Amino acid sequence: MKKLGLFGTLMISIGSMITAGIAILSGVAVNTASTSIIVSIVIAVFLSFLGAVCYTQLSNFVGKDGGVYEYVKETFSVNAGFIGGWLWIFAMLALSAAAATRIPVYITFLANITFSTVVLALISGLFLVVIALIINSRFSFSTKLLAAIVAINALTIILSLYYGIQYVNTATYVLQITSQNYEDTLFGAAVIFLAFSGFAMLSSIRSAIAKPEETMGPAAYLSIAVLEVCYVVFAMLTIAILAHAGLSNNGVFFVEAALTHSPLLLFAVAVLRITALIGLCALCMLSASKTLYSMTNGAELPLPPQKINSSGKPTNEIIVSLVFALLLATLISFNTLVESASAAMLLIFILVSISVLNLIFKKNRKSGTEHLLINNKYFSVVAIVAVLGDLALLLSMSATSIGITFSVLLVSGLYYNYGRVLVLPKNRLNKTTYSPKHSQVREFSS
């Protein structure tokens, strides 16, 4: 199988989260941060860069396919790894559910029909079921497909640029940015932080990357830089279009609302958004399923014996992911889903940074890792700043989203420490399984 180079790795890192930033997170963040969203993006970029450095160091130290579950488990503690894995599953499924709830609303723009709340929920559920069936088939996220997702989102920005560039007033921006509430700015950074975390997807396909120690880091840093430019341009256009049209921010539909007089542009933007949201929904559900499979393979969940189908997909775990996504989409509002997913991602990267600190101060070394930054005690400054910054963003979020996320953390911790002995048979409870060097679940193919 041909190994992924820098371009393929970069497309995975960008393509996995650009839809979240363009079609979902920018709308939620702009709603609160307003013109200071530019400052919010800069803060999120800085902390994302620190997180990427820490994450790639963990990946290079462990040296195999994995994710936050496997990496934190091996470098910090098994308990923390299990909690990190559950937080990742929750973040991915919350984001998948949020994307699914937006798809039918875009359909209303295309069909010019108003659906009731119940009908919208049924359509969202139907999309989730269809997406689960698709990812359980031979469908795979190739680098070409992810490059197409990047292109689709780029077209959305270009259309917005075509319509909104004439209304951008940079002088007004500078004046308005300085007058914004810092708490709202931090909230905007906390929400948009999630949209820079696509590089974390690379860890599950490390064995498919050519020279991963030399490729993963640059791909992560470049993806953050590219996404920063995309989000800044899109956010500036958002504010400009809203101001010109005299509209309040209607979630992610600001461009569509302003384009109601231009049916062709409205149709193009809506189709592009629906396509990108379907891709985001499928990618997040598959990522959650892969983590569930790793946990089941590690004898830590009371799921049926693993069933990898002929397409290399974990059928049981995809079904479980679908059920959870349906529940989230039905019971929790769109804004709360996005905020909770962002809160979970911040907690994940706090765990990652703490794992790096654990490696530095315990001097837990193994052969072949002498060249890594974790061997330098001054690298602890990077991890400490990352922990404090992520914690500040987390505390700026709503009490509801923090409560939901910490509930996931608490339940997973209680289950691991006390619940496993009640639900797992002794032969599985005492089993020790190590994650393979090469992933058993083919999330991507070239």
Residue 442 in this model has a pLDDT that exceeds 60: no
Which pLDDT score, from 0 to 100, does residue 308 have? Answer: 77
- pLDDT tens for 105-125 read 878 777 777 778 888 889 999
Binning pLDDT at 50, 70 and 90, where does residue 24 land? Answer: low
pLDDT at 405: 92
**What value does the mean pLDDT take over residues 387-402?**
93
Predicted pLDDT at 272: 79
Q: Per residue in 183-227, pLDDT tens?
A: 888 888 998 898 898 888 888 777 778 888 888 889 999 999 999
Q: What is the pLDDT of residue 75?
A: 86
- Is the pLDDT confidence value at 128 over 80? yes
pLDDT over 80 at 413, yes or no? yes
**What pLDDT is recorded for position 224?**
93
Q: Which residue has the higher pLDDT, 312 or 260?
A: 312
Record the pTM.
0.87
pLDDT of residue 78: 85
The span from the CA of 421 to the CA of 112, in Å, is 54
Cβ–Cβ < 8 Å for 87, 402: no
> Residue 73: is its pLDDT beyond 80?
yes
pLDDT over 90 at 352, yes or no: yes
Judged by average pLDDT, the poorest of 50-59, 145-154, 195-204 is 145-154
Average pLDDT, integer, range 341-364:
89
Q: Higher confidence at residue 256 or residue 193? A: 193
Asked whether the predicted pLDDT for residue 432 surpasses 60, the reply is: no
- pLDDT grade for 16, boundaries at 50, 70 and 90: confident
Higher pLDDT: 253 or 307? It is 307
The residue among 150, 181, 188, 178 whose CA lies nearest residue 44 is 188
Residue 114 has a pLDDT of 77
The mean pLDDT value for 337-359 works out to: 93
Of the spans 93-102, 369-378, 416-425, which averages the highest pLDDT? 93-102
CATH number of this structure's domain 6-427? 1.20.1740.10
277-287 tens-digit pLDDT: 888 888 899 88
Q: How far apart are CA 20 and CA 10, in angstroms?
A: 17
Q: Average pLDDT of the chain?
A: 79
Instruction: Please give the share of the chain, as a percent, with pLDDT higher than 70.
Output: 76
Q: What is the pLDDT of residue 180?
A: 58
Residue of higher predicted confidence among 431 and 369: 369
What integer pLDDT is reported at residue 169 of this predicted model?
64
Residue-level pLDDT at 252: 43
pLDDT at 366 > cutoff 70: no
Query: pLDDT-derived band of residue 443, with 50, 70 and 90 as boundaries?
Result: very low
